[in-house]
Amino acid sequence: MQQHSNSTVAPPTAYRALDFWAEQGVLHKIPAVNGYILCRHVQHECDSHCQDNTVHHSDFVLVCNQCGAVDEQSLSSEWAALRQRAADNGFMLNDEHIVLTGICTHCQTKLT
C-alpha cells in the first residue's frame, strides 16, 4: 500500500535548498527582484568561459514589469571595465548582478 504525505516544506528549508543551488551555479539569486532564476548555461555544456568562478553567467537580467519574464544576458568584456571603474573609485563590489526592468517584446505587442 502506498502512503501519501500531505506535508509541506518549511520556507527556511526551501530557501536553504535555493541558496545551495545558487552556490553551485545552477540558479542565480537576484535580490533586486527577491527571487532566483535558472542559469541558462546549465542547459548547455559549459565551454571555456565557465572555467573560472567569476561572474560569467548572469551578468545582467532583463525583467518584464508586466508578465515577470526574466531573460539572462552576458556582458563579457564590459564587466572588466565596470570592475576596474569600481576599483578605481575605491569601491569593493559584493554583488555583480545588474537588473534592468521594462516591458518585454511579447507584452509590448499586447499594448499596441
**Residue 48: all three cell numbers together:** 571555456
Contacts of 28 (CB under 8 A, 6+ apart): 22, 36, 37, 39, 57, 58, 61, 72, 97
Is-contact 32 98, C-beta < 8 A? no
47: pLDDT confidence band, cut at 50, 70 and 90?
Answer: very low
Interior CA angle at 65 toward 44 and 26, to 5°?
A: 25
Q: Does the annotation flag 67 for ligand binding?
A: yes
Instruction: Read off the pLDDT of residues 65-108 as tens digits, 9 standing for 90 and up.
Output: 999 888 888 777 788 888 899 999 999 987 777 889 999 999 99
Give the whole-angstrom CA distance, residue 10 versus residue 16: 10
More confident of the two residues 40 and 92:
92
- 56 labeled part of a ligand binding site: yes
Q: What is the pLDDT of residue 40?
A: 72
Q: What is the mean pLDDT of residues 25-49?
A: 70
28 is in an annotated binding site: no
Distance CA 47, CA 109 (A): 35
Q: Is the pLDDT of residue 49 over 80?
A: no
> For residue 85, what pLDDT is reported?
93
Distance CA 58, CA 51 (A): 15
Q: What is the pLDDT of residue 3?
A: 60
Domains and their CATH numbers in the chain: 11-111 (3.30.1490.190)
Q: Give 42 or 56, the one with higher predicted confidence.
A: 42
| Residue in 64, 62, 73, 61 with CA at minimum distance from that of residue 110 | 64
The HSE-up count of residue 86 (CA atoms within 13 Å, CB side) is 12
pLDDT digits (tens, 9 = 90+) for 5-36: 667 889 899 999 999 998 888 888 887 778 88
